[in-house]
Amino acid sequence: MKREILADGVTAAFPDYPLAVEAHGLVFVSGMRGGRPGVQPNSIAELPKTAQHLASDYGLLNAVEGPVIADAWTAFENLTKVLAAAGSDQSQILRLHIWQSDKRWFPRLEQVRIVWQPVPCPSSGLGVGTVCGQFGQHYGLSAIASVPGLSQDYPQRDVVKTFDNADLPSASFYSQAVACGPLVFLAGHIPIKTTAPGKPVVASYDDVPEEGRALATGRSHPDSRHGPIAAQTWFTYDEIRKNLAAQGLGMEHIVQLTIFLADLRDFPDFLRVHAQFFPKGGPAITVSGFDEVGHKGTLLEIEPVAVNPAAGLAVTPHGWQIPTPLPGAAAVTVDKFCFLSGMIGMTRDGVLAASSTCVEEREGRALVAELERFERVPGLAAQCWASFDRLAETLKAASLDLDSLTKMTVFMADPQDFLIFEAVRRARLSDSLPAMEGICVFGPGPVEGAHVQIEAIAAQA
């Protein structure tokens, strides 16, 4: 059964939703921000003594960096309070997303994180257009963690690859992989050669072996266009393959992938390389465009979840109920959990919904028509409705429903768009709400004209 988590003095970024939801020993945390009612520090001086070492000796430097450090500190503090209310702590985090309005301040964030997480979890740190939601400023956090002692199947976190392992060193302060029972969570991987002097970025076909040059033509003009993304995609998947192989796993054991692209024009060539690693369909997948991905000019970040077959659990892919928009499954069920691909606002014909005329249900059509008066871009309300259609039908194929959702991450382009999304959500899902995170990025979906995408995890009762 799902259990809502309450924590005194902490408010989720999207207040209608629970701070966190626990199911089968895992806790799914809603978006955390650097503030709470009556408390939104803007300087290091306002933080506790344990944070004062982060201050500089120079007042002007503190004036510049203080608000950033204070926001990061309080976000991690809020996350800690919610995890404690669930019976967990930061040593049990399996997956952490860090949304950043300006990645230039990443070193200050890392200083804060080292205090809160002496042994860091796998994470992905992305640049976003706006850290939206209540108290949103510089940073947003959302997480999945284990709750020790609640489940024999998902007992506690086991760090498989630490941030300082010699074979696959991390690009910053995060663990490469952790396991919790049969599930293996890998950090977001980027195309940086962390074992090479200077840790250079993969820039072209010249930086990968022959097997990574399947799309190469030998002609300068086309290879300069698709070479960077093709080489970076191949290299990143190969690093993931090596990481899994070190654990006795293979690419076929990946059940869910989240892909962050710096340029949506790279989406077609990314998919062509993706298909080389998953020739027989592949896992559930979400693809979106972020304002900044990785560092040093990297074009993508790939974040996997895998399952260890030694556990003997049934792994069941569920196909798309519409013309297949992406390779791989619409969802993959592993034991009690269902990992879904990103659902964008497509009709049953597999095209993006354009208006209320695309909505089949009469009541839904009337609501969308009313919301169209307020939407920022045409088709927004219709796509929100259609994304819930695709989500509901995929869950039904997995013998689940919308009430089974435990975590929902919603990608949109503008904070105002969430008002339309929430109006639709209340009509489609009003009881047993999941943990929620909302992200504002330039590319909510993998194609131009996609205004919303829902990535979700569901759990059996």
Alpha-carbon gap, residue 198 to 187, rounded angstroms: 21
What is the rounded distance in angstroms from the CA atom of residue 177 to the CA atom of residue 123? Answer: 9
Can you give the pLDDT at residue 394? 98
Let me know whether 449 and 341 are in one domain. Answer: yes
Average pLDDT, the chain: 95
pLDDT in tens, 349-393: 999 999 999 999 999 999 999 999 999 999 999 999 999 999 999
Q: Are residues 347 and 235 in the same domain?
A: no
Q: Residue 239: pLDDT above 60?
A: yes
What pLDDT, on the 0 to 100 scale, is given for residue 162?
Answer: 60
Tokens 């260890």 sit on residue: 308
The pair of structure tokens assigned to 385 is 């409705």
pLDDT at 163 over 60: no
DSSP letter string, 61-128: HHHHHHHHHHHHHHHHHHHHHHHHHHT--GGGEEEEEEEES-GGGHHHHHHHHHHH-SSPPPEEEEE-
Beta bridge partners of 192: 201
Model pLDDT, residue 283:
98
Question: 284 and 241: one domain?
Answer: yes
Q: Is residue 394 included in any domain, yes or no?
A: yes
DSSP per residue, 213-257: -TT--S-HHHHHHHHHHHHHHHHHHHHHHHHHHTTT--GGGEEEE
Indicate whether 24 and 148 sit together in one domain: yes
Is the same domain home to 429 and 350?
yes
Q: Please say which residue of 107, 139, 156 terminates a domain.
A: 156
- In the structure, what pLDDT confidence band is assigned to residue 161 with cuts at 50, 70 and 90? low
Q: For residue 318, tell me if it sits in a domain.
A: no
Residue 159 binned pLDDT confidence (cut-offs 50, 70, 90): confident
Residues 31 and 130 in one domain: yes
Position 277 in a domain:
yes
Residues 124, 209, single domain; the answer is: no
Cα–Cα distance measured from residue 51 to residue 61, given in angstroms and rounded to the nearest whole number: 16
Any domain includes 454: yes
176-199 pLDDT, tens digit each: 999 999 999 999 999 999 889 999
* Residues 152 and 292 grouped into a single domain: no
d(CA 92, CA 29): 12
123 and 199 in one domain?
Answer: no
* pLDDT (0 to 100) of residue 165: 65
- Does some domain include residue 166? no
Same domain, 226 and 121: no
Which of 312, 329, 356 terminates a domain? The answer is 312
- When pLDDT is cut at 50, 70 and 90, the band that residue 414 belongs to is very high
Distance of CA 238 to the CA centre of its chain: 21
State percent of the chain over pLDDT 90.
Answer: 93
Range of the domain at 78: 1-156
Assigned domain for 199 exists: yes
Q: Are residues 236 and 342 in the same domain?
A: no
Q: Tell me whether residue 321 is in a domain.
A: no
At 35, which CATH number? 3.30.1330.40
Residue where a domain terminates, one of 140, 156, 172? 156
Residue 220 predicted with pLDDT over 90: yes
The structural domain count of the chain equals: 3
260-313: pLDDT as tens digits: 999 999 999 999 999 999 998 899 999 999 999 999 999 999 999 999 999 999
> What would the pLDDT profile of 345-356 be if each residue is shown by its tens digit?
999 999 999 999
Does some domain include residue 167?
A: no
Instruction: State the pTM of this model.
Output: 0.96
Q: Per DSSP, what are the bridge partners of residue 142? A: 97
CA atoms within 13 A on the CB side of 85: 21
Same domain, 349 and 292: no
Reading the block at residue 122, the tokens are: 């796998």
Single out the residue of 306, 377, 282, 275 nearest to residue 122, CA to CA. 306
Band of residue 164 on the pLDDT scale cut at 50, 70, 90: low
Q: For residue 268, give the H/E element and its range.
A: helix 267-277
Residue type, 360: E
